[in-house]
Amino acid sequence: MSIRCSKVNLNLLRSAIGVYRNYSHLAGNAPKLFASASERHPIVPVRFANNLFWEKDRKGGYDTTKKVSRKQLILDGLKELRQEFALFNKEWKEKLASDPLVVFRPGETDVVFNFETEKDLDRWVLTTDKDHNEGFTEAKLELSPAGFGLFHGTLESRVPKDGRIKRSGYANIRSVRVRKSFKRDAFYDWEQYNTLVMRVRGDGRSYLINLASEGYYDILWNDIYHYVLFTRGGPHWQYVRIPFSKFFLASKGRVQDSQGPVPLNRISSIGFSVGARGGHEGQFRLEFDYIGVEYDPSHREEFAYEMYKQPKYIVAT
């Protein structure tokens, strides 16, 4: 069942973030690939450019992993073997002892992320445009004097004078990909919940919440569901409750025409972004107490936006 919500207009969101999936940057200087729209013929490829329909890098060219020798990999693997077996043992204990009737209680918040110790902060990765020589924004994620997680820094929209970067000024934190033992990727399974709950203290800025749902194929690697986190500013904490039905799908920063509910059983990470677009440069500050999920029995909405049916054989919506 699709729910049409007249109060929410995706066109406004598209104007702020983007419109469609765009893969033209992969083609480079390749010759004309498709026939024009006026020629009513099937799409016939003329010549394939390198990586035109396939991306081997999940980071889209921003991969910063260091190359390690095979000998060092073997040594590191032996050191981690005990840790992996302990994690494997913990997985089976949780699987055998878990009781859905006890775990999922309506109206109670299950905390997923705390920000009490340095170990809790190790579950997050901080990135800015400065990390890739694309800007001058500086940011930190650290414990505040009061003992909470503090995401703060200074946004700068000034771009490097290299003739390559046109826009700059962003900072982002993202949770580390959850995994099982022996380096197996896993997902957060929030299918029994319908609301994201947070206790935060902001500076009056608007932040973007990112729920990543990484798919198997390369075209789905960058599927992220977004919603805006509005902060009040001032010294007081605010409790934020956002239904998952309010999140909309985007890929590489572009809102998609084909929308649908968040696949809550395949959440790979959660993140928060802030940008200097629109002249919003300067210092920012967002403090976290906890992030959790909750099942609200009174919330019945499945999806807040219109879902369009695409004609068959339409590729890359």
Per-residue model confidence as pLDDT tens digits over 182-233: 888 889 989 989 999 999 999 999 999 999 998 777 778 889 999 999 999 8
Q: Determine the pLDDT at residue 34.
A: 37
Residue corresponding to tokens 């049409």: 4
pLDDT higher than 90, residue 285: yes
Q: Determine the pLDDT at residue 115.
A: 96
Q: Determine the pLDDT at residue 296.
A: 92
CA 187 to each of CA 175, 190, 226, 266, 267: distance values in angstroms, whole numbers, following the listed order: 12, 9, 18, 5, 5
- Which helix (H) or strand (E) segment holds residue 80: the answer is helix 70-97
Per-residue model confidence as pLDDT tens digits over 120-163: 999 999 999 998 888 999 999 999 999 999 999 999 999 998 88
Longest dimension (CA), the chain: 66
CB atoms within 10 A of CB 111: 12
- CATH 3.30.70.1400 assigned to domain 105-295? The reply is no
Q: What percent of the chain has pLDDT over 90?
A: 45
The domain ranges of the chain are 68-101, 105-295
- What is the Cα–Cα distance from 317 to 310, expressed in whole angstroms? 8
